Amino acid sequence: AQSVAQPEDQVNVAEGNPLTVKCTYSVSGNPYLFWYVQYPNRGLQFLLKYITGDNLVKGSYGFEAEFNKSQTSFHLKKPSALVSDSALYFCAVRERSSNTGKLIFGQGTTLQVKP
């Protein structure tokens, strides 16, 4: 069964510093991988996805993520954090072979960027 783990409930970063939000996954075969962000009292918004090819994926708002097949990870990164990046971040996975398209989310990581 497919699963996603985000090992940190919360990540605290000072504004201007680099940030990393971790994600590891377990699926059969190669996955499609996604990051979504949820601001307070809002729905989730898509940030970026990995399909194939280059392991470094660039997305919205200066975020990027690195796919590492051997470590089954897809960590979210940003070189310089902004206070406005403070939000709840979800990693998600979908099996390529799935005929239902079921998208499984990790438990979420709260990013707190302090001025």
Told to check if 107 binds another protein by CB under 8 A, we report yes
| Closer Cβ to another protein, 78 or 94, answer by number | 94
- From 46, 54, 68, 114, residue interacting with another protein (rule: CB under 8 A): 46
**Is 57 in contact with 71 (CB distance < 8 Å)?**
no
Quote the radius of gyration of the chain (alpha carbons, Å): 14
Told to check if 30 binds another protein by CB under 8 A, we report no
Which residue stretch of 14-22, 54-62, 68-76, 86-94 sits at the interface with another protein (rule: CB under 8 A)? Answer: 86-94
CA distances 115 to 13, 17, 48, 60, 81, Å, are 9, 10, 26, 22, 10
Told to check if 35 binds another protein by CB under 8 A, we report no
Query: Please, is 69 exposed, middle or buried when counting C-beta atoms within 10 Å of its C-beta (0-12, 13-18, 19+)?
Result: exposed
* Rounded least distance, CB 96 to another protein, Å: 8
Question: Where along the sequence are the contacts to another protein (CB under 8 A)?
Answer: 32, 34, 36, 38, 41-46, 49, 51, 88, 90, 94, 98-105, 107-108
